[in-house]
Amino acid sequence: MQTVTLIPGDGIGPEITNAVTTILEKAGAQIEWDVQTAGTDVIEAEGSPLPDRVIESIKKNKVALKAPVTTPIGKGFRSVNVALRKSLDLYSNLRPCKNIEGIKTRYDNVDLVIVRENTEDLYAGIERQVDEDTAESIKIITRKASIRIAEFAFDYAVKNNRKLVTVVTKANICKLSDGLFLNCAREVAQKYPQIQFKEILVDNLCMQLVQNPEQFDVLVLPNLYGDIVSDLCAGLVGGLGVAQGANIGLNAAVFEPVHGSAPDIKGQNKANPTALLLSAIEMLKYIEQRDIAEKIEKALFKTIKDGKSLTCDLGGKSTTTEFMNAIIENL
Ligand code: NAI
Sign of CA dihedral 4, 249, 126, 225: negative
Q: Along the 331 residues of the chain, how does pLDDT read in single tens digits?
A: 999 999 999 999 999 999 999 999 999 999 999 999 998 888 888 888 889 999 999 999 999 999 999 877 666 666 787 788 888 999 999 999 999 998 888 998 999 999 999 999 998 778 899 999 999 999 999 999 999 999 999 999 999 999 999 999 999 999 999 999 999 999 999 999 999 999 999 999 999 999 999 999 999 999 999 999 998 999 999 888 889 999 999 999 999 998 989 999 999 999 999 999 999 999 999 999 999 999 999 999 999 999 999 999 888 999 999 999 999 999 9
What's the 210 CA to ligand 1 centre distance in angstroms? 25
Q: Does residue 101 lie in a domain region?
A: no
Same domain, 177 and 294: no
Residues 6+ apart with CB under 8 A from 73: none
CA dist., res. 14 & res. 63, Å (int): 19
Same domain, 289 and 177: no
Asked whether 54 and 243 are in contact (CB, 8 A), the reply is no
Global pTM? Answer: 0.89
CA distances in angstroms from 146 to 28, 224, 258, listed in the order given: 38, 14, 24
Same domain, 214 and 123: yes
CB atoms within 10 A of CB 205: 19
By alpha-carbon position, which residue is closest to atom 15 of ligand 1?
A: 259
The HSE-up count of residue 91 (CA atoms within 13 Å, CB side) is 19
CA dist., res. 102 & res. 327, Å (int): 14
CB atoms within 10 A of CB 111: 14
Does 318 contact ligand 1 (Cβ within 6 A)? no
Same domain, 208 and 189: yes
Q: Does residue 328 lie in a domain region?
A: yes
Read off φ and ψ for residue 108, nearest 5 degrees: -110, -25
Q: Does residue 100 lie in a domain region?
A: no
The predicted pLDDT at position 49 comes to 86
Q: Which of 203, 198, 173 is nearest to 185 (CA)?
A: 198
Same domain, 84 and 19: yes
Same domain, 87 and 135: no
Same domain, 227 and 293: no
Does 71 contact ligand 1 (Cβ within 6 A)? yes
CB atoms within 10 A of CB 79: 14
Please give the distance of CA 246 from its chain centroid, rounded to a whole number. Answer: 4
Asked whether 209 and 242 are in contact (CB, 8 A), the reply is no
CA dist., res. 324 & res. 202, Å (int): 39
Q: Does residue 268 lie in a domain region?
A: yes
**Of 236, 267, 288, which one is at a domain's C-terminal end?**
236
Does 75 contact ligand 1 (Cβ within 6 A)? no
The predicted pLDDT at position 126 comes to 85
CA dist., res. 39 & res. 48, Å (int): 8
Q: Which of 84, 156, 153, 144 is nearest to 120 (CA)?
A: 144
**Of 197, 218, 236, which one is at a domain's C-terminal end?**
236
CA dist., res. 159 & res. 33, Å (int): 26
pLDDT tens digit sequence for 119-137: 999 987 788 999 999 999 9
What's the 235 CA to ligand 1 centre distance in angstroms? 15
Specify the length of the chain in residues: 331
Q: Does residue 293 lie in a domain region?
A: yes
Ligand 1 pocket mutation, candidates 7, 70, 73, 259, criterion most atoms within 8 A of CB: 259
What's the 215 CA to ligand 1 centre distance in angstroms? 31
**CA triple 268-270-271, angle to 5 deg:** 115
Does 74 contact ligand 1 (Cβ within 6 A)? no
Q: Is 33 helix (H, G, I), strand (E, B) or coil?
A: strand
Same domain, 110 and 83: no
What's the 260 CA to ligand 1 centre distance in angstroms? 3
Read off φ and ψ for residue 164, nearest 5 degrees: -135, 135
Q: Does residue 99 lie in a domain region?
A: no
**Of 236, 263, 287, which one is at a domain's C-terminal end?**
236
CA dist., res. 225 & res. 250, Å (int): 23
Read off φ and ψ for residue 327, nearest 5 degrees: -65, -45
What's the 268 CA to ligand 1 centre distance in angstroms? 15
Q: Does residue 220 lie in a domain region?
A: yes
Q: Which of 33, 32, 50 is nearest to 41 (CA)?
A: 50
Same domain, 44 and 129: no
Q: Does residue 58 lie in a domain region?
A: yes
Read off φ and ψ for residue 188, nearest 5 degrees: -65, -40
Same domain, 164 and 254: no
Does 93 contact ligand 1 (Cβ within 6 A)? no
Domain count, the chain: 2
The predicted pLDDT at position 287 comes to 95
Read off φ and ψ for residue 166, nearest 5 degrees: -115, 125
CATH code, domain with 321? 3.40.718.10
Range of the domain at 173: 106-236
What's the 331 CA to ligand 1 centre distance in angstroms? 28
Same domain, 265 and 227: no
Same domain, 197 and 126: yes
